[in-house]
Amino acid sequence: MQDRKPLYLMTPALAWLTAFMVIPCLLILALAFFRRGLYGGIEYTFTLENLALVFDPLYAGIFLKSAWIAGLAALIAVIIGYAAAFAIAAAPSRQQPILLFFAVLPFWSNYLVRTYAWIVLLNREGLITGLARWLGYDAELPRLLYTEGAVVVGLVYNYLPFVILACYAPLSRLNPEIAEASRDLGASGWTTFRRVVLPMTAPGIATGFVFVFVLSIGNFVTPALLGGGQFQMIGNLVYAQFLTANDWPFGAALSMILIAIMMGLLTLQTFATERASGAKREGS
């Protein structure tokens, strides 16, 4: 097969990706360094103003808040997801694929619909309010929808299945004899979990955390729907620059930062995973 040149098989796809992904992304990269025109257009003079503006206290605040929400959502998703993956991995091996299938099934349904489900639960005349009244709680409930908490819950809900998958992979590969050896040598169940199981399954946790964080920090649908109109995250800011404020260069600069955060985290995660597997190889 070596002598065949299968380039022509790849040409249509690679041409498509070049035209509709590589070039547009390079364009955005370039846009970030141009000046905003007087009437919302683009003035083709080089500037670093857009990137500097990103670090303006006004926008830095939105960045920090986005990172806080994304970090919180990732942390909660990882805790719940790891517990769920652990419980699935501890189930009889014939049930595991079925449990895993049903854990991932909601992930396959529409993102908007899954987010909308929480509006149904949390809104003022929603199910939770109804339930509280039915239980005899007549006082005014605190507002549930259009809060920071609602945004975090929505993000956790949407990305949890992925975390379960990511954590299940290393847990299911774990050799049970290692845990047994630790117990035989006198370690308690908790110590065995903390000192043996947890470090060996850390790559799955890292993958899950990075995934939720990256998808959350650039998200604009969940903040828009569950956070209410006033709630701003980076995704909403980018959205506004392109569709309402008409400051494309600044929007481009914001999304460059978003990409930089994403690539940084993914590189860090690859590095950590490689180190972990390298250490394992040396140890064996």
Contacts (CB under 8 A) with other proteins, residues 21-40? 21-25, 27-28, 31
User: Exactly one of 78, 152, 197, 212 binds other proteins (CB under 8 A); which one?
Assistant: 197
User: Exactly one of 53, 75, 76, 179 binds other proteins (CB under 8 A); which one?
Assistant: 179
Q: For residues 72 and 279, give the distance between their C-alpha atoms in angstroms, rounded to a whole number.
A: 30
Q: Which of the residues 119 through 178 are near other proteins (CB under 8 A)?
A: 119-121, 123, 125-127, 129-130, 133, 157, 160-162, 164-165, 171, 174, 176
Q: Which of the residues 232 through 251 are near other proteins (CB under 8 A)?
A: 235, 238-239, 242-243, 248, 251
Minimum CB separation from other proteins for residue 278, in Å?
A: 19
Which x/- pattern, by CB under 8 A, does the window 4-23 give for other proteins?
x-xxxxx-xxx-xx--xxxx
Minimum CB separation from other proteins for residue 280, in Å?
A: 18
1 binds other proteins (CB under 8 A): yes
Q: For residues 217 and 71, give the distance between their C-alpha atoms in angstroms, rounded to a whole number.
A: 8
**Residue pair 147/177 in contact by the 8 Å Cβ criterion:** no
Q: Of 57 and 108, which CB lies nearer to other proteins in the complex structure?
A: 108
Minimum CB separation from other proteins for residue 48, in Å?
A: 19
User: Exactly one of 52, 60, 64, 91 binds other proteins (CB under 8 A); which one?
Assistant: 91
Minimum CB separation from other proteins for residue 229, in Å?
A: 9
